[in-house]
Structure 1
Amino acid sequence: MEVVALVSGGKDSCFAMMRCQDYGHKVVALANLIPLDDAVDELDSYMYQTVGHQIVVSYAKCMGLPLFRRRIRGSTRDQGLKYKVTAGDEVEDMFALLSEVKRQIPSITAVSSGAIASDYQRLRVESVCSRLGLVSLAYLWKQDQTLLLEEMIRRGIVAIIVKVAALGLKPSSHLGKELADLKCHLLQMNESYGINVCGEGGEYETLTLDCPLFRDARIILDDSEVILHSADSIASVGILHPQVFHLEHKPSSDGIGDGSVTQESSSCLHEVDEAITYIDVEEKQTSSSVVDAYTNIGLCISKTGKNLCSIGCWIQDPSRASEGLKADLIAVLSRIENQLNEEGLGWLNVLYVHLYISSMKEFGLANEVYVSFITEKKCNLGVPSRSTIELPLCQVGFGKAYVEVLISNEVEKRVLHVQSISCWAPSCIGPYSQATLYGEILYMAGQLGLDPPTMKLCPGGPTAELELALQNSEAVANAFNCSIYSSAIHFLVYCSAQLTSSEKEEVEQTLQSSYVTRLDCSKTGSYPTLLYVFAPDLPKGACVEVKPILYVPSNDDRIATSEMETVVPQPALIKGCTDWSALYSELQDSCCQVHTIGGRICSAVVSLTKDIALKICSTAGKLYYTEENLKAIARFCAFQVTKILADNKFSWDSITMLRFYYSVDHSVAADAMFRAFSKAFTELMEDHSSLTTGEAPVYNIVPVAGSGRSACTADIITCELLASKISSETSKP
């Protein structure tokens, strides 16, 4: 991509440009924001470094690139972490600057910045990029600062200290010193006082005088003045004011930069003084006629649970020819949106979205429709996390789109949405986030084996993709101060149905060696549940996608008494009904995996294999999917779910996820499956009226190419269950 680099004069913005080159991008322009008054060295800004701005103008000649510069007219008006477009804010100066760069150089598609740890700065750069249709590149984001400092010095960043404001750094001793000379001192101060070795806490600022990108000249500082801002005896604050400097030209080098661009034609200064034009993009409204054309939209709503509910929506009309993915998805999302509105809710209440489509070839089209409904503007606390896979929907009588959403009637949640491309973890460029924390449960988006800085699938096949997907998941978990190896509740692995038997075995063995053997169960007491689901296709043609659910306890690791006193079923109530339990109970250990955490969370996977189905249907040899046999299968699954809840003192009201995956190889229509499960749960309620208070649990039937607790197991039906007694109140940030 062609890139405009935001430069402040500091080491970070320069090294970020070098990283852009490392990953094949081409920096074609520089952009810099400076104080309105040349005599001012430093602004009271949360966003911009301006110390040393007098020298940054020389970067154009040093690099042979055009420099676009704007004087900062705004101030810090919106101090919230998540930026909202605010007239007069200093962020709008960046917007005006980059708008002009884009106007003059239309080929630019990305913006480079040197953000390392500041969410405040990253989110504002991402906001501006989103408004301008540009990609944010933040290759230093979340990098180990010690390693980063060492790499900057090793790769030839020559920078001097131009501001100090921390314990252990003195204006008289350290201003004007080269970064390389202070490395050992900075590391020592980090060990003694915990300062950020790259200055991310405002401990110091730098000015780059030379680096490999300066192909034409280096900067020589001839004279400077130390200005003391604070003479505090513990942590003095001082800056270095450049007074005299000159450029020392380098001999031409073919190894750096693009030799085809001459200094005369490119190293020019563009002053950007245009007024700021505010653009508030109107959200597209879907025509009601499209929705009204669908007279038979299946809608599944869960009313159980104190704070959570789920909605699954699909097109259910086998006799009707589909109008196509776009029309189907518009109809489904519109129906969900209407249901949310009826409940006094909106998309901001949605925690997670499962987007199932009939063809991954139309993934781009599906995203276009998706972003017309779910936007940053509608979700002021952050957009929901999401996973997307292809399913054989049409084969079972569904339309071409099926959407399942998890909803909270509260709006307390913490969302991680990093849109910048970085070395940290894959970006989410669009209205879906890496992870959403609600209560003490972290719902993570599906993670592919993508190389974060290039956003390309790693080579090496399914096992290599799995290992990188786990690494990416761990990076996201670390952002919430947890780990997939110590905090996992449930782990779902989507696999391509195209994998061979040997590849499936390798995936399972890799997961065992890379994941399961590293699990730390000391906090939870048991292993998390594990489920493999096979899909016809995954995004980007991936072989594997992982979707962890994690337990993130709050500082106050207690639960309110009112939460614990939920009326729960007793196991004896089930054991008393011999007609349901005589056969089913003996199969419990072989078909169920259960994981509980402190009586608050229960995760389970129920695996119904062909052998078990033959037993419960009293069939020898071949299994026929008659109405009676489907009913028996569904009754077995319903019984196991209820028994798991009862044994662990949970009720139906605590269910937050209940999903039944079934293989389309068995040629059973989805509506037949729904009828069978509906009858099974109805009978269960009638036979156990004291057990099953309230409404029957609502579930989703998901047609797949295969599923099981093992990658090599072909279940007839696999049940995925999550129950919780906690709400967002237990872990407010």
Structure 2
Amino acid sequence: MKVVALVSGGKDSCYVMMKCIQYGHEIVALANLLPVDDSVDELDSYMYQTVGHQIIVSYAECMNVPLFRRRIRGSSRHQKLSYQMTPDDEVEDMFVLLSEVKRQIPSITAVSSGAIASDYQRLRVESICSRLGLVSLAFLWKQDQTLLLQEMIANGIKAILVKVAAIGLDPSKHLGKDLAYMEPYLLKLKELYGSNVCGEGGEYETLTLDCPLFTNARIVLDEFQVVLHSPDSIAPVGVLHPSTFHLEKKGNPDFNSLGEEPGLVFEVHGDGPNTSESTRQRDNGIVDIVEHTRNRLNLSKTEKENTFSICCWLEDSSESSTGLKEDLETVLTEIESQLLKHGFNWQNVLYIHLYISDMSNFAVANETYVKFLTQQKCPFGVPSRSTIELPLVQAGLGEAYVEVLVANDQSKRVLHVQSISCWAPSCIGPYSQATLHKSVLHMAGQLGLDPPTMNLRNEGAIAELNQALTNSEAIAESFRCSISSSALLFVVFCSARTKQSERNQLHEEFVTFLNLAKSSRRVSNVLSPIFLYILVPDLPKRALVEVKPVLYVEEDTDTEDEAIQDQSGEGDYSYWGYKPEKWHQDCVEKRVVDGKICVTVLSISAELMRKVQEASGEEEQLQRVSRFCVYLLNKTMSENSFSWQDTTSLRIHFSTSLGVSVERLSDIFEIAFKELNEMIHGVRVGGSKEPIFNLVPVLGAGNSSASLDNLITCELFALRS
């Protein structure tokens, strides 16, 4: 990509340019923001480093790249973490600056910034990039600061300290000192006081005088003055004011060989967008709710009030099939209508499962999706998402199927990093890496993508799995947990294109990865996760594997695998003629944590279906199996003191090899729930109008990647308020 680099003069903004080139991008312009008054060294800014701005003008000549500069007119008006367009905010100066760069150089598609740890700065750069249709590149994000500092120095960043503001740093001693000279002392301060060695806590700022990108000249600082801002005896604050400097040519024989003027500098003026213009821009992205045909719509909604799911799909027929775009628009419109009907909107959504019939139409599906799900509609954070191809048409459905998990409060925490970095895959668009709500971390589906290149690992399914798990661990660490110790459930989608030989190894590799992670972290409290492997026709980017982790995140608790034991004894489960048998245990896996979360996966393989049939006499097989599933689910819930009102979601994955339509299977399970409701007085498990389950057609499923022969798999999640 062609990149405009945001430069402050600091080591980070220069080194990220070097990383951009390393990953195959091209720096075609520089952009810098500076004070209105040249005599002012530092502004009271939450966003920009301005110390040393007098020298930045030389970067254009040093790199032979055009430099665009704008005076900072705004101030820090919008100080919440997630930024929204605010007139006269200093962030709008960046918008005007980059808008002009894009106007003059239309080929630019990305912006680089030196963000390492500041969500405040990263989110603002991402906001501007989103408004301008640009990609944010932040290759230093979340990198280990000690290693990063060593890497910068080893790769030729020649920088000096131009501001100090931390214990152990003295303006009179350390301003103007070379970064390489200061490295041992900065490491010592980290050991003594926990300082950030890269200055991410505001400990110091730097000015780069030379680096490998300065092919034409280096900057030589001749004279400077130390300006003391605060004489604090513990952590004095001071800045370096450059008095005189000059450029020292590097003797590049190709420099200016065409007689071009080196490094043009452009001053960018003009006002930022006003509120009415911004409102019109946002409104253009809002989809009008239109009337769609309802004779094909099917809706499922759990009864839980605090956290619940809504699922919507369409019955397919050759006469009414309208294509993926129209089907998805119909489904999303209906879900939006249901949210509004219950007093909610898209900002209440925690997670979205997007199922489509053909992954080759992913771009069409995403284009439709982003018209409904916008950041403007989700001020508390956009929901996480998983996108999977399912055999929808074979199961008698339309081409789109959507399930949303909804909360009736605004307590969710969302991680949404849109910048491309070395940390984890970016989420460019209105879906997040993970959403935390009521101690449950719902992570987006993770592919085996190499984060800095966003390319899929091409060494096969095992390599993809390991990369997807590495990415998942990076995301989990942002919430101070680990997939190796905090996972409740791993749903692993396997593409039908995976080789059987690799499929046989996936689970073993998965367990090995988790065991190594556990031993390296030396954790004591470890959850034992449930594994659910699902075979599907295809995945985004033609991936072979996609991992969807669900984690338990709770501080200062003694969490064990089973925090609640069976409390109700055997109970009376004689209805429908069932008695608890030993082989029933082979069907169910459950995890109950802290008395408030219950995850259950119930598996019916062909062999178990035969056993159910043997115990059922002459009764129709699917009807008997549905009753058996409902019986075991109810038994598991009751034994662990959960009621059906605690259910947030219940997915019934069924294999297309059953040869049954969704409509037929839905009727069978609905009857089973109604019968149970009648038999167990006082427990309402299903209504006469809306079933509490979602039917999901798949090619196969199992608790191991080697055996995906489940014909029916129930995945239940219950959360006690």
Q: TM-score range by the shorter chain?
A: over 0.9
- What does residue 233 of structure 1 align with? 233
In structure 2, the CA distance between the partners of 1:207 and 1:262, relative to structure 1 (3 Å rule), is farther
In structure 2, the CA distance between the partners of 1:547 and 1:523, relative to structure 1 (3 Å rule), is farther
Q: TM-score, normalized by length of structure 2? A: 0.94
- What does residue 50 of structure 2 align with? 50
* 1:461 partner letter: G
Q: TM-score, normalized by length of structure 1? A: 0.93
- What does residue 680 of structure 2 align with? 688
Alignment partner for residue 609 of structure 1, among 605, 608, 619?
Answer: 605
- What does residue 711 of structure 2 align with? 716
* 1:689 partner letter: H
Superposed CA deviations along residues 96-135 of structure 1, whole A, max 9, x for unmatched, are: 0000000000000000000000000000000000000000
CA RMSD of aligned residues (A): 2.3
- What does residue 322 of structure 1 align with? 321
Superposed CA deviations along residues 418-440 of structure 1, whole A, max 9, x for unmatched, are: 00000000000000000000010
Is it true that 1:639 corresponds to 2:635 in the alignment?
no
Q: CA deviation at 1:285?
A: 4.9
* Other structure's SS at 1:603 match: strand
| 1:574/1:688 contact within 8 Å kept | no
Q: CA deviation at 1:523?
A: 6.3
* 1:103 partner letter: R
Q: CA deviation at 1:500?
A: 2.5
Q: CA deviation at 1:213?
A: 0.2
Matches within 5 A, 1:186-335: 186-252=186-252, 264-278=260-274, 279-280=277-278, 281=281, 282-286=283-287, 291-304=291-304, 306-318=305-317, 320-335=319-334
Which stretch shifts more, 356-365 or 262-271? 262-271
Which stretch shifts more, 93-102 or 317-326? 317-326
| 1:45/1:76 contact within 8 Å kept | yes
Is it true that 1:548 corresponds to 2:545 in the alignment?
no
- What does residue 561 of structure 1 align with? none
- What does residue 730 of structure 1 align with? none
Q: CA deviation at 1:364?
A: 0.6
CA distance in 2 between counterparts of 1:110 and 1:401 reads: 32
- What does residue 692 of structure 2 align with? 698
| 2:434/2:442 contact within 8 Å kept | yes
Q: CA deviation at 1:526?
A: 4.8
* 1:463 partner letter: I
In structure 2, the CA distance between the partners of 1:530 and 1:132, relative to structure 1 (3 Å rule), is same
| 1:530/1:709 contact within 8 Å kept | yes
| 1:329/1:401 contact within 8 Å kept | yes
Q: CA deviation at 1:587?
A: 2.4
| 1:605/1:719 contact within 8 Å kept | yes
- What does residue 111 of structure 1 align with? 111
Superposed CA deviations along residues 695-732 of structure 1, whole A, max 9, x for unmatched, are: 59711110011111111221011111111114xxxxxx
* 2:311 partner letter: G
In structure 2, the CA distance between the partners of 1:377 and 1:271, relative to structure 1 (3 Å rule), is same
* 2:64 partner letter: G
CA distance in 2 between counterparts of 1:62 and 1:54 reads: 15
In structure 2, the CA distance between the partners of 1:286 and 1:83, relative to structure 1 (3 Å rule), is closer
Is it true that 1:97 corresponds to 2:93 in the alignment?
no
CA distance in 2 between counterparts of 1:578 and 1:532 reads: 32
Matches within 5 A, 1:172-571: 172-252=172-252, 264-278=260-274, 279-280=277-278, 281=281, 282-286=283-287, 291-304=291-304, 306-318=305-317, 320-515=319-514, 518-519=517-518, 526-554=527-555, 570-571=568-569
Is it true that 1:593 corresponds to 2:584 in the alignment?
no
| 1:569/1:651 contact within 8 Å kept | no
Which stretch shifts more, 261-270 or 481-490? 261-270
In structure 2, the CA distance between the partners of 1:627 and 1:458, relative to structure 1 (3 Å rule), is farther
* 2:585 partner letter: D
| 1:217/1:248 contact within 8 Å kept | yes
CA distance in 2 between counterparts of 1:469 and 1:262 reads: 48
Q: CA deviation at 1:260?
A: 8.9
CA distance in 2 between counterparts of 1:443 and 1:498 reads: 27
Which stretch shifts more, 259-268 or 492-501? 259-268
| 2:158/2:211 contact within 8 Å kept | yes
Q: CA deviation at 1:527?
A: 1.2
Superposed CA deviations along residues 171-194 of structure 1, whole A, max 9, x for unmatched, are: 111000000000000000000001
* Other structure's SS at 1:292 match: coil
| 1:659/1:701 contact within 8 Å kept | yes
Q: Percent identity?
A: 55
Q: CA deviation at 1:519?
A: 4.7
* Other structure's SS at 1:108 match: coil
In structure 2, the CA distance between the partners of 1:30 and 1:285, relative to structure 1 (3 Å rule), is closer
Q: CA deviation at 1:261?
A: 8.6
| 2:486/2:527 contact within 8 Å kept | no
Q: Any gaps of 5 or more consecutive residues in structure 1? A: 559-563, 727-733
How many residues of Structure 1 are paired with residues of Structure 2 in the alignment?
A: 707
| 2:94/2:128 contact within 8 Å kept | yes
In structure 2, the CA distance between the partners of 1:627 and 1:204, relative to structure 1 (3 Å rule), is farther
CA distance in 1 between counterparts of 2:619 and 2:8 reads: 71
* 1:720 partner letter: E
* 2:264 partner letter: C
CA distance in 2 between counterparts of 1:489 and 1:405 reads: 20
* Other structure's SS at 1:201 match: coil
* Other structure's SS at 2:394 match: helix
CA distance in 1 between counterparts of 2:488 and 2:220 reads: 58
| 2:485/2:526 contact within 8 Å kept | no
Q: Any gaps of 5 or more consecutive residues in structure 2? A: none
| 1:627/1:676 contact within 8 Å kept | no
| 2:395/2:660 contact within 8 Å kept | yes
CA distance in 2 between counterparts of 1:250 and 1:387 reads: 52
CA distance in 2 between counterparts of 1:386 and 1:261 reads: 52
Q: CA deviation at 1:318?
A: 3.5
CA distance in 1 between counterparts of 2:594 and 2:349 reads: 26
In structure 2, the CA distance between the partners of 1:389 and 1:654, relative to structure 1 (3 Å rule), is same
Q: CA deviation at 1:682?
A: 1.2
* 1:443 partner letter: H
Q: CA deviation at 1:264?
A: 3.0
In structure 2, the CA distance between the partners of 1:467 and 1:362, relative to structure 1 (3 Å rule), is same
- What does residue 581 of structure 1 align with? 578
| 1:440/1:554 contact within 8 Å kept | no
Q: CA deviation at 1:637?
A: 1.0
CA distance in 2 between counterparts of 1:722 and 1:66 reads: 56
* Other structure's SS at 2:481 match: coil
| 1:61/1:263 contact within 8 Å kept | no
CA distance in 1 between counterparts of 2:313 and 2:64 reads: 56
- What does residue 138 of structure 1 align with? 138
Q: CA deviation at 1:317?
A: 4.2
* Other structure's SS at 2:146 match: helix
Q: CA deviation at 1:459?
A: 2.0
Which stretch shifts more, 226-235 or 686-695? 686-695
* 2:658 partner letter: H
Q: CA deviation at 1:515?
A: 2.1
Superposed CA deviations along residues 118-174 of structure 1, whole A, max 9, x for unmatched, are: 000000000000000000000000000000000000000000000000000001110
Q: CA deviation at 1:668?
A: 1.0
- What does residue 731 of structure 1 align with? none
* 2:715 partner letter: E
Alignment partner for residue 664 of structure 2, among 669, 672, 686?
Answer: 672
- What does residue 129 of structure 2 align with? 129
| 2:164/2:170 contact within 8 Å kept | yes
CA distance in 2 between counterparts of 1:148 and 1:263 reads: 39
| 1:608/1:718 contact within 8 Å kept | yes
Matches within 5 A, 1:24-43: 24-43=24-43
CA distance in 2 between counterparts of 1:269 and 1:704 reads: 59
Which stretch shifts more, 508-517 or 65-74? 508-517
